Amino acid sequence: MPGWIDWYDSEHTIYVNARHRDVHFRRIAQEIADYVPARSATVVDYSCGEALHAGIVADACGRLFLAEPAPHVRARVAARFADNPKITACALEDIAALPDGAVDLVVMHSVAQYMSVAELEAALATFRRILKPQGALILGDILQPGVGAVTDALALLRFGLAEGFFPAAVLGLARTFFSDYRRLRSSLGLTRYGAGEMLAKLAAAGFAAARVEKNIGHNPARMTFIARPE
């Protein structure tokens, strides 16, 4: 993920305005919180991004690890939640160092597309080890083969219309066309998985998994899976 990490650690324009950024992270946090199994649960949000509303998740659990590989983003997350004793901002390496069976829920949302197959497999092995036998892994926003940028753009426009930033979404899409994000998407590519392929990969990593009917987030063309250790 190095190229993508560097981009997300820069002053990028993936969010078209402050309203988009706010409602995006609020929706993700609310939907992650719905998966928290108990108020005492230990939760990992793996590659969490800015996690603006992670306090919603923290309110639903006992301890929340916000693991983020981009150093400047991670520093902002740490500062944002410095006064919340439930939240620990950390690097991905800190998650790999957790003891076996320490975690009730791992969430990795909108990350797999930026990882190589080998990176995903390594992450799944880590998740399998740190999860409790009754724990769960949520993989959200998995890109399917054949679903491209046009579908993503339409999903953003619908989201903008529903959440009050439609004009900014239109302008943002035009700006993105000439941005580093589009060039990176063309040069580095995005990793895609069919539903059967992802289920097979999770099974190979030691999980019993199923696709969830509703994807986390605003894009219904992408997939969410729930997986439990076998």
Domain-embedded: residue 169: no
Task: Tell me the average pLDDT across 199-206.
Answer: 98
Domain-embedded: residue 180: no
Q: Does 189 score more than 70 pLDDT?
A: yes
Domain-embedded: residue 154: no
Domain-embedded: residue 164: no
Domain-embedded: residue 194: yes
Q: Does 56 score more than 90 pLDDT?
A: yes
| pLDDT band with cut points at 50, 70 and 90 for residue 186 | low
Rounded to whole angstroms, the Cα distance separating 196 from 193 reads 8
Domain-embedded: residue 156: no
Domain-embedded: residue 158: no
pLDDT in tens, 134-184: 999 999 999 999 887 889 999 999 999 999 999 999 988 887 766 666 666
For the chain, how many structural domains are there in total? 1
* pLDDT value of position 182: 61
Quote the strand ranges of the chain, DSSP E. Answer: 42-46, 63-67, 87-90, 103-109, 131-142, 207-212, 223-229
What angle do the packed helices 18-33 and 166-177 form, to 10 degrees? 100
Domain-embedded: residue 8: yes
Rounded to whole angstroms, the Cα distance separating 20 from 64 reads 24
Domain of 202 in residue numbering reads as 2-147+190-229
Task: Tell me the average pLDDT across 42-46.
Answer: 98
CATH number, domain of 94, equals 3.40.50.150
* pLDDT value of position 12: 73
